[in-house]
Amino acid sequence: MLTRIFAIAKKEIRQLKRDKRMLYVLFIWPFILLILFGYAINFDVHHIKTVVYDLDKSEDSRYFINMLTSSNYFDVVGYIDSEKKINEVIDANIARIVIVFPEDFSKNIHSNRQAKIQILISAIDANTASIVSSYINAATATFSFKIVEEALAVKGGSPYIPVNLSPRFWFNPDLNSTLFLIPGLISMILIMTAVISIAMSIVREKEKGSIEQINVSPISSIELLIGKTMPYSVLSLIIASTILLACYILFGATIKGSILLLFVSTFIFLFASLNLGILISSISDSQQVAFQLSALITILPSFLLSGFVFPIESMPPAIQILTNITPVKFYIVILRDIMLKGVGIEAFWPQLIYLLIFSFFFLTVASIINRKNKVD
């Protein structure tokens, strides 16, 4: 049995060596996707275009603006001198927010009365508007604390905060959204590469008719599928290693946990992905159909249903059940646990079980279909 499996694997390696174009695609395409998605998808909100309508023109209003622009979150792109221009700058997308200081802003502060600042935010993008509002609230709290501190210093007192909130951000202290997205990006690239490469390889043999020669040989369907899977497993592991290295160089993504666990988990995920590719090849009669099916089955669920971009917990219950159709969902959890948290197998062993179930389910169904096709 092993001899026949190795013979199929050896034949597949020779085929890969001859197909230089496929090898280039397999190694270069993941890096193109990594660069495109890695830099294009980012939830961080920086350089928010801001316009100021300052009726007070005091030192306090200027201090508040300088405090905002000292970070890279806000960029003041202009000042307006009329209320009518507020609509113009927001409608024309000149600014995302407009800060309005009333005439009595500084006077109220130094008269121990509550001073008000009006913030007008374009909320077409609700998520960004919410983040901008949080930034402004934090800046206002800092500004208010400074005013209170100065007022108490004049009277010889010291500021007192009844409840002091001290948040600590674990695993990603800089709140870099790219680090959160990289595991999903790696998962999507790996499943696409694995599924498309093996599906195209098997269907190409169907088109050339060489699969018929294998079908009439003594080799069984399961031996054929395992032999086909072996070289692509090694190739996919090499691609996975180079992607991880590229993530470290381009985005500073490090592996906090066990590299051995990451290697084993990646191998199981690739095994499931390759078996999915074999299943697709067993129901495809042409390379065009195989490619379209592979792209459809891997890209959409990986992007929408895996937790790569959208949190699964926020989805309706029926959609949460539907998310279990893709192995990417479980591999992302493993990657985030190992790369970001640095935890051990006790944190994600159920995900490994799910991946193994996927692997054997795809392999069994593909084997049954191949056996049926062989008999026909």
pLDDT in tens, 232-274: 888 888 888 888 888 888 888 888 989 999 999 999 999 899 8
Mean pLDDT of the chain: 85
Query: Is pLDDT at 328 greater than 90 in this prediction?
Result: yes
- Report d(CA 300, CA 191) in Å as an integer: 12
Query: Is pLDDT at 356 greater than 90 in this prediction?
Result: yes
Average pLDDT over residues 281-310: 86
Query: Is pLDDT at 33 greater than 90 in this prediction?
Result: no
Cβ atoms of 334 and 352 within 8 Å: the answer is: yes
Query: Is pLDDT at 156 greater than 80 in this prediction?
Result: no
Average pLDDT over residues 348-373: 86
- Report d(CA 300, CA 137) in Å as an integer: 37
Query: Is pLDDT at 56 greater than 80 in this prediction?
Result: yes
The residue among 202 and 42 whose pLDDT is bigger is 202
Cβ count within 10 A of residue 281: 30
**Residues 173-229: pLDDT tens digits?**
877 778 888 888 889 888 988 898 888 888 887 787 776 666 666 777 677 777 778
Q: What is the pLDDT of residue 8?
A: 78
Cβ atoms of 161 and 264 within 8 Å: the answer is: no
- Lowest-pLDDT range, 16-25, 124-133, 293-302? 16-25
Closest of 181, 189, 194 to residue 299, by C-alpha:
189
| Largest interatomic CA distance in the chain | 97
How far, rounded to the nearest angstrom, does the alpha carbon of residue 224 sit from its chain's CA centroid?
35
Q: What is the pLDDT of residue 269?
A: 92
128 CB-contact burial (10 Å; exposed 0-12 / middle 13-18 / buried 19+): middle
- Report d(CA 213, CA 159) in Å as an integer: 86
158 CB-contact burial (10 Å; exposed 0-12 / middle 13-18 / buried 19+): exposed
- Report d(CA 141, CA 136) in Å as an integer: 9
Query: Is pLDDT at 344 greater than 80 in this prediction?
Result: yes
- Report d(CA 332, CA 305) in Å as an integer: 11
- Report d(CA 273, CA 196) in Å as an integer: 10
The model's pTM:
0.79
The residue among 28 and 329 whose pLDDT is bigger is 329
Supply the DSSP symbol for 101. Answer: E
Average pLDDT over residues 332-359: 91
Q: What is the pLDDT of residue 211?
A: 66
Instruction: Return the percentage of the chain with pLDDT > 70, whole number.
Output: 94
In the chain, the amino acid numbered 277 is G
In the chain, the amino acid numbered 210 is S
| C-alpha distance from residue 19 to each of 13, 204, 281 (Å) | 10, 12, 19
Cβ count within 10 A of residue 18: 9
Q: What is the band of 337 on the pLDDT scale with cuts at 50, 70, 90? A: very high
Q: What is the band of 357 on the pLDDT scale with cuts at 50, 70, 90? A: very high
Average pLDDT over residues 84-98: 89
Sheet holding 118-121, edge to edge: 74-79, 48-54, 97-101, 118-121
Q: What is the pLDDT of residue 376?
A: 62
Query: Is pLDDT at 158 greater than 80 in this prediction?
Result: no
Query: Is pLDDT at 69 greater than 70 in this prediction?
Result: yes
How far, rounded to the nearest angstrom, does the alpha carbon of residue 8 sit from its chain's CA centroid?
36
Average pLDDT over residues 294-299: 87
Query: Is pLDDT at 330 greater than 90 in this prediction?
Result: yes
